């Protein structure tokens, strides 16, 4: 007979080996991206002239600086050393920036630093076209966008699908994936690269987008402010300009860490209640501003700086043509953007950098070039032209959309202003034609 079966003694259970579990910090409720196109104007030009890729190129020349195509198909480019005048650089390639040439710099000064840099004229129609393309490409992925200009936007990624999902062992993988998708969309639509900074707010994202240029992605959370933001110079904070930066430096505040450690009372005393309080908040990365997805412009303007100062009498023909062209361009801008305007403004800058402005409010809004030219001419009558002119500009304010009714009170105010200035009535709501001698100044 077989022996009875007995249970063998069992050892205490041992835990199976497991991989170490790392818990990533939870993503903040708000995830804001700042997207900045890389050397935008210059990059658009490189699409047109790919043979210039990798070279020092400066954008800001005139039509006379357009490349010449030879019979064999090769191009001859203007060089910065050949430029004369007082124009400023619109933008430059990264190769030119390595030589110390940056946007906003005078052309003549830049020529001393990079005389062999290629000089190209600006083409704003093309830049606007590519601006529309890249913004539409971003909106396909993340539609909540604040437009900050021709080459930069803020994007609210907070509710984009998949943004908070880890990818593999990367807890921020979903965030990176969305950022790459945006960049790839922009590249496919335009052929251009961009840099993206993603943080909990607009202030930090603006800084972050500059940390890995060009063609970079920077993710930065609140816990990293001390290690990644505080070592930066105070001027890296958008909103601290040259004067405020210089004053902070005089106070021994050179880095964001210095600013964060500064006595808030000192900042209030030195910079005033509003700006001083903002400096303290900015240094700690705090910014609750929402994205502004729609805003109406206050005014639209056109202006030009002359290569050489012009005389109101001796250069009358040239000034008249420029004045008319500015008004026509401004009327085109109003039509394209769908606005009318009631306040016509004139801006003149004379030798010695003395600037004068004059405004005129019309009975009814307009977008007509002749109406704008006529009203701006009336403003011109009120400016003594005893000095040479360096800059001429025309502005239209008091904007409205076609069909928007004017209130009775605003119409009355317009009539009173027109009557007070002796302009009379006009069927289009602007001043009646002035005597020829008043407009013959230009």
Catalytic residues: 152
Tokens at 391, concatenated: 């800059």
Cβ neighbour number for residue 391 with a 10 Å cutoff: 16
Place of tokens 């403004």: 345
Q: What is the DSSP letter of 139?
A: H
Strand partners, 395: 301, 345
Tokens at 332, concatenated: 């085109």
Q: Are 144 and 293 in contact (CB under 8 A)?
A: yes
Q: Where are the alpha helices (DSSP H) in 338-427?
A: 369-380, 408-420
**Residue 202: strand, helix, or coil:** helix
Q: Are 358 and 345 in contact (CB under 8 A)?
A: yes
Cα–Cα distance measured from residue 312 to residue 319, given in angstroms and rounded to the nearest whole number? 7
Exposure string over 77-87, b if 16+ CB within 10 A, otherwise e: bbbbeebeeeb
Cα–Cα distance measured from residue 44 to residue 32, given in angstroms and rounded to the nearest whole number? 26
Cα–Cα distance measured from residue 377 to residue 211, given in angstroms and rounded to the nearest whole number? 48
């Amino acid at each position: 007979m077989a022996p009875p079966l007995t249970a063998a003694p069992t050892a205490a259970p041992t835990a199976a080996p497991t991989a170490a579990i790392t818990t990533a910090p939870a993503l903040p409720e708000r995830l804001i991206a700042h997207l900045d196109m890389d050397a935008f104007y210059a990059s658009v030009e490189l699409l047109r002239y790919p043979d210039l890729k990798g070279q020092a190129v400066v954008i800001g020349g005139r039509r006379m600086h357009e490349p010449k195509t030879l019979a064999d198909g090769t191009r001859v480019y203007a060089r910065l050393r050949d430029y004369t005048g007082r124009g400023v650089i619109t933008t430059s390639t990264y190769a030119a920036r390595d030589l110390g040439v940056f946007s906003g710099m005078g052309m003549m000064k830049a020529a001393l630093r990079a005389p062999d840099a290629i000089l190209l004229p600006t083409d704003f129609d093309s830049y606007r076209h590519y601006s529309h393309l890249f913004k539409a490409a971003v909106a396909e992925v993340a539609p909540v966008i604040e437009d900050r200009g021709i080459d930069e936007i803020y994007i609210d990624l907070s509710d984009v699908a998949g943004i908070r999902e880890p990818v593999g062992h990367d807890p921020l993988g979903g965030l990176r994936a969305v950022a790459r998708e945006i960049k790839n969309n922009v590249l496919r639509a335009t052929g251009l690269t961009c840099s993206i900074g993603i943080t909990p707010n607009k202030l930090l994202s603006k800084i972050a987008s500059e940390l890995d240029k060009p063609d970079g992605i920077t993710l930065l959370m609140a816990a990293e402010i001390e290690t990644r933001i505080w070592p930066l110079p105070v001027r890296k904070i958008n909103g601290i300009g040259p004067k405020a930066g210089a004053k902070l430096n005089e106070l021994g505040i050179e880095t964001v860490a210095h600013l964060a450690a500064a006595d808030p009372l000192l900042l209030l005393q030195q910079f005033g209640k509003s700006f001083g309080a903002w400096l303290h908040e900015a240094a700690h990365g705090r910014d609750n501003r929402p994205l502004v997805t729609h805003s109406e412009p206050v005014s639209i303007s056109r202006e030009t700086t002359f290569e050489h100062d012009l005389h109101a009498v001796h250069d009358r023909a040239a000034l008249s043509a420029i004045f008319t062209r500015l008004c026509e361009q401004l009327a085109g801008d109003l039509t394209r953007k769908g606005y009318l305007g009631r306040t016509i403004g004139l801006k003149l800058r004379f030798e010695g950098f003395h600037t004068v402005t004059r405004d005129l409010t019309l009975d009814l809004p307009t977008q007509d070039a002749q109406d704008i030219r006529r009203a701006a001419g009336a403003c011109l009558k009120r400016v003594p032209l005893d000095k040479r002119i360096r800059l001429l500009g025309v502005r239209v304010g008091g904007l409205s959309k076609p069909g928007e009714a004017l209130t009775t009170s605003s119409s009355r105010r317009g009539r009173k202003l027109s009557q007070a200035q002796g302009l009379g009535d006009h069927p289009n709501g602007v001043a009646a034609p002035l005597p020829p001698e008043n407009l013959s100044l230009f």
